[in-house]
């Protein structure tokens, strides 16, 4: 049984593409045949974050328009056996994605034995975002502990309940999971940032992961390798936990408490936390 997962948020810049790349890479590393599809037509970035931007020949829109086959457009990852990427097109044509075309592509992935189809949604609530979520079975709602992000996530949850295939067909609703990113336990402890409990309470969906703010995420995207591939950082471990929870493991959430700092680092600053706190 293949599963379609949409990674969505409403608000831009909260970590959808990073999450899509890491979720897909993580699932593939566990042995699941996984494809990540970039729905951000016009502003494709998933290929860059996953480090395959120089290998893009055909894209999602080419496939929908019948200008290329899926096999021609899909890029096989060089690091992970089971990982594939379908890049977005850079066309400015807003109507390039059709509901029927998207449906056909997803169907073809399902029939080709893919276990997971990860749909990286564009920001906003327009057509591209609606197409990314339309055929989803589950959703990862990426949220920052910040007011505008939480509000936008609430809007997205409304769309997931109404403007999707599952909703229209009266099937079981899309299972939505909350993923908090850029979480800073020390700022939460100081009362400067919404806690994960606050956000869970506000949005009313189960928490699937908390990714701490980490310099490793930027380094990883600089290098074009999902952070999860090098599990030394906290962010990588938190993403790995997320993936394992996604496939049914029960794991406690980690990295929720501030790291105890020594007297000297308190006085002089420095160390991990201080580096991103500003």
Partner 1 sequence: MGFLDYLLKSRNATASVAKERLSIIVAREGARGNGAPHYLPQLKQELLQVLAKYEKIDLEQVTVNVEKDGDTDVLELNVVLSPERTAQRAPVAPRPQPAMPRRAAPKAEAQPGWWER
| Cα dihedral 33→35→36→38 (10° resolution) | 180
Q: Name the minimum Å distance from CB 247 to partner 1.
A: 25
Nearer to partner 1, 256 or 274 (CB): 274
Nearer to partner 1, 101 or 258 (CB): 258
Instruction: Give which of 158, 115, 121, 125 is closest to 140, Cα–Cα.
Output: 121
Nearer to partner 1, 66 or 191 (CB): 191
Give yes or no for a contact between 2 and 33, defined as CB atoms under 8 angstroms apart.
Answer: no
Q: Are strands 116-120 and 3-8 parallel, antiparallel or unpaired?
A: parallel
Q: Name the minimum Å distance from CB 115 to partner 1.
A: 26
Binding site for partner 1 (CB under 8 A): 146-147, 150-151, 154-159, 161-162, 167-173, 188, 190-195, 198, 202-204, 261, 265-270, 274, 277-278
Q: Name the minimum Å distance from CB 83 to partner 1.
A: 33
Nearer to partner 1, 85 or 193 (CB): 193
Q: Name the minimum Å distance from CB 193 to partner 1.
A: 6
Instruction: Give which of 186, 99, 183, 87 is closest to 134, Cα–Cα.
Output: 99
Strand extents, DSSP E, the chain: 3-8, 34-38, 75-76, 83-86, 116-120, 138-143, 175-183, 207-212
* CA angle centred on 205, ends 212 and 160, rounded to 5°: 110
Nearer to partner 1, 13 or 270 (CB): 270
Q: Name the minimum Å distance from CB 219 to partner 1.
A: 22
């Amino acid at each position: 049984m293949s599963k379609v997962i949409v990674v969505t948020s409403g608000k831009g810049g909260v970590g959808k593409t990073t999450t899509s790349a890491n979720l897909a890479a993580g699932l593939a590393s566990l042995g699941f045949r996984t494809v990540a599809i970039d729905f951000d037509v016009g502003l494709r970035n998933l290929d860059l974050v996953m480090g395959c931007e120089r290998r893009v020949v055909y894209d999602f829109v080419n496939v929908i328009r019948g200008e290329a086959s899926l096999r021609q457009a899909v890029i096989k990852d060089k690091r992970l056996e089971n990982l594939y990427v379908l890049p977005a097109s850079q066309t400015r044509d807003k109507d390039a994605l059709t509901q029927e075309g998207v449906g056909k592509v997803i169907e073809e992935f399902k029939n080709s034995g893919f276990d997971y189809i990860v749909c990286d949604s564009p920001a906003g609530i327009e057509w591209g975002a609606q197409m990314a979520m339309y055929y989803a079975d589950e959703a990862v709602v990426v949220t920052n502990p910040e007011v505008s992000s939480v509000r936008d996530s609430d809007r997205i949850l409304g769309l997931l309940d109404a403007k999707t295939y599952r909703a229209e067909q009266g099937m079981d609703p899309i299972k939505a999971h909350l993923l908090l990113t850029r979480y800073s336990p020390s700022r939460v402890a100081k009362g400067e940032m919404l806690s994960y409990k606050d956000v869970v309470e506000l949005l009313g969906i189960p928490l699937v992961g908390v990714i701490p703010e980490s310099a490793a995420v930027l380094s990883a995207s600089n290098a074009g390798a999902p952070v999860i591939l090098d599990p030394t950082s906290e962010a990588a471990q938190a993403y790995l936990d997320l993936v394992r929870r996604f496939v049914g493991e029960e794991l406690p959430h980690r990295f929720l408490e501030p790291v105890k700092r020594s007297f000297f680092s308190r006085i002089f600053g420095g160390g991990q936390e201080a580096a991103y706190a500003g």
